[in-house]
């Protein structure tokens, strides 16, 4: 077992953009080697420059066993793989279950959204957990910790979010089951459910929409900062009595039906 951050690798899927990117740089700043698995080749190249010789980027798909395993193998070259964050996810605009003119929801969109968020996160978790189960245990018997990334939409999905909300709800349900399941090999599992976060995606959106969303947050009346997500991720991974917990990070925001 190692307690030196420079010998404890963090693997982050979806770590080349958005919350994943900020979290990767956060852990890098704390002294941890970071390995990123991401599908976007251009963003992977940029992240490679950020990490330098203190980490690595694997450009691949969380749905591909070989790609995930390549990321795991890369992580282990820097030290023990102790922490994994399954941050890869997203969705498409799917609309209502029955749309205008009686048109049913697109099944392909629903399936792809579940694949990316649920299957991809599970694939990352299962393969990383298998690798971490080989680590030497610490005094508590811990060999590693994992973090799933869900959403407030998993609790109060809005009209038109049936695919995305269902996928994120599945991750909420997965968290406690996985924590209980992996207790036998000394691996903790927690999750973060962000509300509306101030990622770079807002740079493309109208300022009035951002202001309207901020006004709905009880307190503080603003969007969440990515660094606040990263700080919470660090706590959930480092606090060895946090297990099976889904932490809402949303300023007490609860989404309305639409």
Judge whether 75 lies within some domain.
yes
* Tokens read off for 98: 């029955």
Structural domain range at position 72: 5-249
Asked if residue 255 belongs to a domain, the reply is no
Establish if 160 belongs to a structural domain: yes
Residue 203: per-residue pLDDT: 76
pLDDT at 1 > cutoff 60:
no
Arithmetic mean of pLDDT, 117-122: 98
Q: In this structure, is residue 172 part of a structural domain?
A: yes
186 backbone φψ class: left, alpha, beta (φ>0; ψ -120 to 50): left
Instruction: Provide the 8-state DSSP code for 106.
Output: P
* 241 is known as an active-site residue: no
Catalytic residue among 27, 32, 83, 164: 164
**Number of domains observed in the structure of the chain:** 1
27 Cβ contact partners less than 8 Å away, ≥ 6 residues apart: 10, 12, 34, 230, 234
Give yes or no for residue 75 having a pLDDT over 60.
yes
**What pLDDT is recorded for position 60?**
98
- Identify whether 258 is part of a domain: no
Q: Do 93 and 154 contact (CB within 8 A), yes or no? A: no
H-helix or E-strand spanning residue 8: strand 8-13
Task: Pick the closest to residue 168 from 156, 155, 150, 152 (CA basis).
Answer: 150
How deeply is 80 buried, as exposed, middle or buried, from its count of CB atoms within 10 A (0-12, 13-18, 19+)?
Answer: buried
Decide if 257 is inside a domain. no
Q: Is the distance from CB of 96 to CB of 34 less than 8 angstroms? A: no
178: domain CATH number is 3.40.50.720
Is residue 254 a part of any domain in this protein?
A: no
Please give the helix or strand (H or E) that residue 56 lies within, else none.
strand 55-59
pLDDT range class, residue 14, cuts 50, 70, 90:
very high
pLDDT in tens, 194-225: 999 998 878 777 888 899 999 999 999 999 99
DSSP per-residue codes, 148-186: EE--GGGTSPPTTBHHHHHHHHHHHHHHHHHHHHGGGGT
In a domain, 52, yes or no: yes
Please state, in angstroms and rounded to a whole number, the distance separating the CA atoms of residues 172 and 166: 10
CB within 8 Å of 38: residues ≥ 6 apart: 13, 14, 15, 16, 17, 20, 44, 47, 57, 58, 59, 60, 88
Q: How far apart are the first and last CA of the chain?
A: 49
């Amino acid at each position: 077992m190692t307690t030196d951050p420079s010998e404890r690798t963090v693997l982050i899927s979806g770590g080349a953009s958005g919350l994943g990117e900020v979290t990767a740089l956060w852990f890098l700043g704390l002294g941890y080697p970071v390995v990123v698995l991401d599908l976007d080749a251009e963003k992977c190249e940029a992240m490679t420059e950020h990490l330098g010789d203190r980490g690595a980027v694997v450009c691949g798909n969380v749905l591909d066993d070989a790609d995930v395993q390549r990321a795991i193998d890369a992580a282990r070259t820097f030290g023990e793989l102790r922490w994994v964050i399954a941050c890869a996810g997203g969705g498409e605009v799917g609309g209502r279950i029955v749309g205008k003119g009686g048109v049913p929801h697109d099944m392909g969109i629903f399936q792809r959204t579940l694949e990316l968020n649920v299957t991809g996160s599970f694939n990352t978790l299962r393969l990383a957990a298998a690798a971490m189960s080989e680590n030497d245990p610490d005094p508590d018997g811990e060999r590693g910790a994992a973090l799933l990334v869900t959403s407030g939409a998993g609790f109060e999905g809005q009209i038109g979010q049936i695919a995305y909300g269902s996928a994120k709800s599945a991750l909420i349900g997965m968290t406690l089951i996985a924590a209980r399941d992996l207790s036998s090999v000394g691996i903790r599992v927690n999750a973060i459910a962000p509300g509306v976060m101030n990622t770079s995606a807002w740079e493309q959106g109208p300022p009035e929409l951002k202001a309207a969303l901020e006004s709905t947050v009880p307190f503080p009346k603003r969007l969440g900062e990515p660094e606040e997500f990263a700080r919470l991720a660090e706590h959930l991974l480092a606090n060895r009595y946090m297990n099976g917990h889904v932490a809402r990070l949303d300023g007490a925001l609860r989404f309305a039906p639409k």
